[in-house]
Structure 1
């Protein structure tokens, strides 16, 4: 007697065919949209690998018919930089939050990195990537993406790091009692706890990428001009030519891009992130998104979830190889002291060696007196930064709380704020030059307004995220107790948003220093207005290829930013961790 065993392959195939047969027209629309997206990415990506020589002159095509292609190229760079920023955020923030010793190095380093202007990164990145991809446009593309990355990553990293350090103790103890692996702890506890802040800071970082788009796509380094197809380079060329009509087309294209990305990408994300809100009662009104509601009607998310479930299980099993997250809360004091001394000696030695080497290079090139001028100019820029942060706090904190408490108002305000936060200051140079000349307003004062275009939104967005994170049941309890006015702000609102505000303040301060690069030198046509400040000093050194003065300017700017963070923002961070963590 023989037995026939049926192969499981036909059963799996028939089961999959049955699921496909149940797909609706919504699934067909989603699948078609994804295929079209892949096709556009592939078509646009072809232009990144064409031949290129550093000796050839690249002329930007300012025909308005070229703008759709330019917009697609800019969007591709922005999303690649966003993906790189997200990976960097997870790795860097986790390392800083999990290791007390690494935290002493990584967080001050993050202060320095966010203070280094985009132009400072470009000076090194262009030469490095062109050497890495000789004869290919891919080198310039990587340099541009890297520049956009440097305008996005720091804010997201600060926000996620703070969410990790202010994680509620109850969640920490719960993960230990269930013996979660580090992989499970990250996905089940740490990432959900910081999701709202991560999404809103990601949205703001994306806007920061738009703000520096002109500097990232139209690059001037060592007296050489490089340009890539994109809305930023298009606008830069139109501004140089003084063509108001083409500038208008660039502004319109930028507005369409920002609103479109907000509708298709950020709005669904912010509505989806509501599920991670830490509260015990359901909110009376929640955020909605047409795109998210449409995707929830589709079967593709469920099918993809089932398809990737084995991979998730494999990663969980692999995470167990590193052990569970059962590290003791207390450690041996003597052992910790020995480790601290060893780490301090090694890290301090490397830092001192780097500073000595930098000082020796500058001494040989120009002499150490090169630091004198940027130190004095830095005081002028510091005054503008202080005025900007103080004014932004007074104006935007009440508005951010109002938006964050009202999902209906959030739906209306989010695209408007996103457009404003994403608007490059360079696009306003024609209006700024005309206004400054007509009114006689000095750019030394007017530059604050241009700096605000790239810095004030950090405070607004983080305030909105902080207000949204306040549990609805706490707000309802305040209503039941009749707590109104200043008492409500004192007892609920200010403590609730304070951690998020500190994150916004520290990134707004760093963003203001960075924005000074494009705000202290305003050019339109044949007219150039230059403010007295460190930003103008660095912009001039970058354009002329004066590497020693550029290094001195960046070093001084880093000194000011780190000093301000150490004296003010870090103390507020510790206060937020000890007094105002939820």
Structure 2
């Protein structure tokens, strides 16, 4: 009797595999070549100008893209650690979330003024110090929105999934990768896309650093645009705008659209949607055999990671804790937290009292009320305008395919790029800069509401929408029963980050400069901008502290209550 042994068909590499491999090699080579410029020896004091020859724009674009993606990677890592700690520890949550409110409220210029000197001192005689300062500034414009969004996903996780993970004996490592991260993947990707756009918005400020009457300029599209605006050269400003558009559309096509199409697998639904997002790049990659080949090579690494994850033990936290032990632990933790916060506030007040006196808070407190009014108006109008638009886009994959790159381009344009047009419009129409700056602030804030609403609408299961169609529920009843509950958690995340983004955007929107002409609005943003330009650290600290106070108070009194409502009533 003859035994016939059949072998699995051997996969042969196709032209798709060679194309993917070539693309990866070319990308790696470009990163190495561009990365060389970040570690050259140079005196930071001599880095004060940028070549505005349009031929330099491809290299400048590559340098800017490298900074943006390094900052994005750091933001993702920060999001996982920070949001997980806040969502899984009730005591840490009481410290980390208010701290996140404060961090979100600190303007990019505030971080730059404090950290630039430190980074330069860490790497004397090297460009790397300035590069890290710029990347850190971009990181601060990306991380907070992503962290808020992922924290909201973790806290609104259905209790049934928590019970399932316990019954299957999942470790915390397994629970995170198999339940928590997939359930928040759609919101995380769309928030990452919006945060990336926020990084573009502050590109000029992060690449052309002006602190204490000294300017540091790094090669990049942002610094190129800043120099062209300063010279009043509209032609070169146009080249910068064109380069920015190409970069945004290219990153959307090659990176964000494949991610959003891939994230469709994480939708929580019982029936397949009639239309799903598609990506030519993702379809091309799926035709390649490299994922399977790399999967076989990386299998030992995955097994090692799984074994390392068991160090955390089973997720056997009790569902209820003894109230006496909880109360004692809360008291001890509260005393330590209040002690540290009190010490920090006392040291800040002592520094300001010794240098300028505590009366320095008077002016920024009054100016903060003016900026607060602008923020409230902006968020209210953006809610009325962009929530219906976001729902429309999120419910239609075909429309999302068209709208996504358009919204990305609009959300990514720094307000500084439009200063020539804004200056011309204000002077031509006589529009007061105190009103006009609200439109410039909206360029950096309103998109958070739109992006989060799109993400929330896309995450609504298709079977629920089909059930509403079958029952003939339309109009206001559809909004009341399905749309508002479905998008509400994501909207709250977008609202709180839009509010913080508006405060931050006021720094670059309340002072408009073009070709030697400057228009300044009355507000806290202009106050902080002027203090940073003059190197007046006491006024800068007072302005940042007051801005943090307003943002935290607004979040505590309004947005946090909506967060609790979203957790208790509107989680799918």
The TM-score normalised by the length of structure 2 is 0.98
Deviation string 1:292-343 (CA, Å, 9 cap, x unpaired) is 0000000011111221121111111122122111111011110000000000
Cα deviation code 1:459-495 (max 9, x no counterpart): 0000000000110000000011110100000000001
Counterpart among 364, 387, 392 of residue 397 in structure 1 = 387
CA distance in 2, matches of 1:457, 1:326: 40
SS at match of 1:271: helix
**Which residue in 2 is equivalent to 1:47?**
37
Secondary structure of the corresponding residue to residue 432 of structure 1 = helix
Pick aligned residue for 1:421 from 394, 407, 411: 411
Aligned to 1:491: 481
Q: Please state if 1:120 is matched with 2:110.
A: yes
1:147 equivalent in alignment to 2:137 = yes
Q: Which residue is 2:244 aligned to? A: 254
* Superposition pairs of residues 117-516 of structure 1, within 5 angstroms: 117-516=107-506
> Does residue 25 in structure 1 map to residue 20 in structure 2?
no
1:85 has 2:60 as partner:
no
Contact 2:456 2:489 in 1 (8 A): yes
| 1:577 paired residue among 541, 561, 567 | 567
Once residues 308 and 504 of structure 2 are traced to their aligned partners in structure 1, the CA distance between those partners, rounded to angstroms, is: 42
> Does 2:535 correspond to 1:553?
no
Deviating 4+ runs (over 3 angstroms): none
By how many angstroms is 1:429 displaced?
A: 0.1
SS of 2:38's partner is helix
Conserved in 1, the CA contact under 8 Å of 2:194 and 2:448? yes
Q: CA deviation at 1:54?
A: 3.4
Task: Name the SS for the 2:268 alignment partner.
Answer: coil
CA distance in 1, matches of 2:70, 2:258: 19
C-alpha distance in 2, partners of 1:282/1:456? 32
Q: What is the TM-score with the length of structure 1 in the denominator?
A: 0.96
- Where 1:184 maps in the other structure, the secondary structure is helix
* Residue 71 (structure 1) aligns with: 61
CA distance in 1, matches of 2:373, 2:247: 34
Task: Give the C-alpha shift of residue 365 in structure 1.
Answer: 0.4
Of 527, 534, 547, the residue aligned with 1:537 is 527
User: Deviations 1:210-229 (Å, cap 9, x if unpaired)?
Assistant: 00000000000011000000
Q: Distance in 2 between matches of 1:57 and 1:165?
A: 46
SS for the counterpart of 2:44 is coil
**Distance across 2 between alignment mates of 1:306 and 1:567:** 52
What is the CA–CA distance in structure 2 between the aligned matches of 1:294 and 1:35, rounded to whole Å? 17
Alignment RMSD (CA, Å) = 1.1
Following superposition, the deviation at residue 377 of structure 1 comes to 0.3
**Could you tell me how far apart the structure 2 residues matched to 1:563 and 1:77 are?**
33
1:566 aligns with 2:556: yes
| Cα deviation 1:484-541 (Å, max 9, x = unaligned) | 1000000000011000000000000000000000000000001100000000000000
Offset at 1:55?
3.2
Residue in 2 that maps onto 1:5: none
Give the corresponding residue for 2:4: none
Q: Distance in 1 between matches of 2:337 and 2:283?
A: 51
SS of alignment partner, residue 426 of structure 1: helix
SS at 1:279's partner residue? coil
SS in 2 for 1:110: helix
- Other structure's SS at 1:321 match: helix
Q: Comparing 47-56 with 27-36, which one deviates more in the overlay?
A: 47-56
Give how far 1:447 is off.
0.4
What's the offset of the Cα at 1:57? 4.7
Residue 6 of structure 1: aligned partner: none
1:267-287, CA deviations, whole angstroms, 9 ceiling, x for partnerless residues? 000000000000011101100
Q: Look up the SS of the partner of 2:513 in the other structure.
A: strand
